[in-house]
Structure 1
Amino acid sequence: MSSAKLQTFGAGMAARKVIPQSLDYTDGAREIAHIHHRAQLIYSTSGVVRIMTPDSLWIVTPAHALLIGSQVEHELSMLGDVSLRTLYIDPAALAVPEPRCRPIVAGELLRAALLGLCAASADVAGSRRAALLEPLLLDLLDTATRADEVTRLPLPTEERLRHICSSLIAQAANNETLEQWAENVGASARTIARHFRSETGLSFGEWREQLRMAQAKSWLAVGHAPADIARELGYADARTFAVMFRRASGVTPQQFLERAP
């Protein structure tokens, strides 16, 4: 990621520990790479948000939220129509400032407080409500359960590997072999394979399968049919896709949907 823009909020907002914002996006919308001086909580009441940071690709559903540390570069992509509720938080207001990214469980109280703060009006009653909700939200964030089940795919930093990964994220159905990718970026297959393992902890094949699983779960969550997903991911048919999905996740696509929150 490069050429990130710094987003600020003006002097009028500087005194606030927590700045809430409500944003609605259509399927496929993007926020280009940027950074904030504040930490940011990302939560969607509907749709799926794909968040790319320098070292990770995160897939966040309405069951969870992601707390992004101050100065952490990130870009957002929307899968399905997304109703985003986000907080920009003074890092000093957190008991332990988040240095990177922390996925958290969006429990009922956290969701209610977040939605209430985002909905608070600017009048006297709304300001009074916000003053009550802000310390509650900060306490809930400090004690929130880490959501280790949130999909996180490690991203390499080496320029050639980053090019390969960015290309596959943009077109997950690409079936070029490691040897073909190595030739495309001007390196040997052995070199690319070694760097993939050292930077991500995964082989090239494992990384691509995990990417496809992440894409598949996202598309299932926003209502895409398994047959359409199979085609988008480059599988011969829905049955082949279902076999891959079950091998990688332990459940069928239908069982995944039944278990989703």
Structure 2
Amino acid sequence: MNRPNVQTFGAARASAVLIAQSIDYADGSHEIAHVHHRAQLVYATGGIVRVVTPFGLWMLTPGQSLLIGSAVEHALHMVGEVSMRTLYIQPEALPELAYECRALKVEALLHASILGMFDPVLDDPEDTRGTLLVPLILRLIRHAFAQASESQLPLPANARLRRVCESLIAEPRNNESLEYWAEQVGASGRTVARLFRQETGMTFGQWREQLRVTDAMSRLAVGADVTAIADELGYTDARTFGAMFRRVTGMTPQQFRLSVARE
């Protein structure tokens, strides 16, 4: 069994409570499964970040972040050009959050504080940046964590089902049947159907539909064209996609886009 890469930051920064990094990614870029000894706040100011962990799948749009507990395996996939501002936090600074993942809404003050970590005006030998911003950021993260709700798409622990799910995450437009996927992983259709219900609380069809809705919401939130989204998710036309989206969410794609714009 392959073990994920462990990423560290060297002895020079080992004592820092918080390490901030700014990284820009091209559309389609990805970070393979890896872990950190620190907690990580993944926050993109532009583009969509798809995060896959043993707990589930998150689709993060601007204004959303994901707090990943220390030593939690995760892989990142970029949809569109992504400008990421990420924070690596000593586990001791957030002990109650160490082994969880939670999507957090980034309110205005937390957003400004994160961007402030990259403000050259605060670069000085006295470490003004760390003194002023780090305690505030940690307090705001704790507050956001307390207000957060579960929002991930569940992923199964079973290795064969995980292979199916990862294939569909990589290609959500795939319309192959349950029987096709069962054959690919060397199981019967009945076994795969039973395991899907046991491990995700959904049927195979419901899980794939929810994957597409989650993907569509992220794309709509950043202004993608409805016809293009329908094509990318395997629907014959925008009307068919729109009917599915409304049945699942209670809103048309256009209504959902407007609701996001008002937040």
Shared fold, TM over 0.5: yes
Q: 2 CA distance for matches of 1:149 and 1:63? A: 16
1:247 aligns with 2:252: no
Name the counterpart of 1:65: 65
SS at match of 1:160: helix
Q: Describe the shift of the 1:79–1:126 C-alpha distance in structure 2 as closer, same or farther (beyond 3 A).
A: farther
8 Å Cα contact 1:2-1:33 kept in structure 2? no
Alignment RMSD: 1.8
Matches for 1:103-114 after TM superposition, within 5 Å: 103-114=103-114
8 Å Cα contact 1:102-1:146 kept in structure 2? no
Deviations 1:180-208 (A, max 9, x none): 22122221111111111111111101100
Deviations 1:135-187 (A, max 9, x none): 1111111222433274x111112121111111111111111111222122221
Query: Structure 1 unaligned runs (5+)?
Result: none
Q: 2 CA distance for matches of 1:16 and 1:121? A: 20
Q: 2 CA distance for matches of 1:56 and 1:191? A: 21
1:54 aligns with 2:54: yes
126-135 vs 248-257, greater mean Cα deviation: 126-135
74-83 vs 1-10, greater mean Cα deviation: 1-10
Equivalent position amino acid for 1:112 in 2: A
Query: Structure 2 unaligned runs (5+)?
Result: none
Q: Describe the shift of the 1:54–1:228 C-alpha distance in structure 2 as closer, same or farther (beyond 3 A).
A: same
Q: Describe the shift of the 1:156–1:220 C-alpha distance in structure 2 as closer, same or farther (beyond 3 A).
A: same
1:99 aligns with 2:99: yes
Q: 1 CA distance for matches of 2:18 and 2:184? A: 46
Q: Describe the shift of the 1:54–1:2 C-alpha distance in structure 2 as closer, same or farther (beyond 3 A).
A: farther
Name the counterpart of 1:174: 174
Name the counterpart of 1:236: 236
Runs of 4+ in 1 over 3 A off after TM superposition: 120-123
Name the counterpart of 2:33: 33
Q: TM-score, normalised by structure 2?
A: 0.93
8 Å Cα contact 2:25-2:78 kept in structure 1? yes
Equivalent position amino acid for 1:258 in 2: L
Q: 2 CA distance for matches of 1:58 and 1:226? A: 21
8 Å Cα contact 2:122-2:129 kept in structure 1? no
SS at match of 2:217: helix
1:218 CA drift (Å): 2.0
8 Å Cα contact 2:123-2:129 kept in structure 1? no
Q: TM-score, normalised by structure 1?
A: 0.94
Matches for 1:1-261 after TM superposition, within 5 Å: 2-94=2-94, 96-120=96-120, 123-124=123-124, 127-144=127-144, 145-148=146-149, 150=151, 152-260=152-260, 261=263
Q: 2 CA distance for matches of 1:6 and 1:194? A: 34
Q: Describe the shift of the 1:135–1:120 C-alpha distance in structure 2 as closer, same or farther (beyond 3 A).
A: farther
8 Å Cα contact 2:122-2:128 kept in structure 1? no
Deviations 1:38-90 (A, max 9, x none): 00001111111110002211111122211100000101011111111111000
1:31 CA drift (Å): 1.0
8 Å Cα contact 2:52-2:76 kept in structure 1? yes
Q: 2 CA distance for matches of 1:97 and 1:236? A: 43
Q: 1 CA distance for matches of 2:2 and 2:68? A: 18
174-183 vs 246-255, greater mean Cα deviation: 174-183
